[in-house]
Amino acid sequence: MLISSKLNLVHSITASAQVTQEFANLRDFETGAHLERMAHYARLIACELQQSHNLSDESIEYLYLFAPLHDIGKIGIPDRILFKSGRLDADERRSMETHAQKGMEILQRVVGEFGLEGPPDSAMMKNLVSSHHEKLDGSGYPLGLRGEAIPLEARIIAVADVLDALTSHRRYKEAWTMDLANAELDRLVAAGQCC
pLDDT of residue 17: 62
- pLDDT band with cut points at 50, 70 and 90 for residue 74: confident
Tell whether 29 is covered by a domain.
yes
Rounded CA gap, 195 and 190, in Å?
9
Q: Is the dihedral of CA 83, 88, 92, 97 positive or negative?
A: positive
Judge whether 74 counts as a catalytic residue: yes
Tell whether 133 is covered by a domain.
yes
6, pLDDT greater than 60: no
What is the extent of the structural domain holding 104? 2-190
pLDDT (tens digit per residue) in 151-186: 999 999 999 999 999 999 877 788 999 999 999 999
Rounded CA gap, 195 and 185, in Å?
9
Rounded CA gap, 163 and 41, in Å?
8
Tell whether 195 is covered by a domain.
no
Tell whether 112 is covered by a domain.
yes
Which residues 6+ apart lie within 8 Å of 72 measured at CB? 20, 103, 106, 107, 129
Q: ∠65-68-74 over CA atoms, to 5°?
A: 155
User: Which residue among 74, 84, 135, 173 is the active-site one?
Assistant: 74
pLDDT (tens digit per residue) in 75-85: 888 989 988 88
> 134 with 141: CB under 8 angstroms?
yes
Q: What's the CATH code of the domain at 184?
A: 1.10.3210.10
pLDDT of residue 35: 85
Average pLDDT of the chain to the nearest whole number: 85
The number of domains in the chain is 1
pLDDT of residue 119: 63
pLDDT of residue 65: 87
CA atoms within 13 A on the CB side of 109: 8
pLDDT (tens digit per residue) in 92-151: 999 999 999 999 998 888 777 766 666 667 788 889 999 999 999 999 999 999 999 999
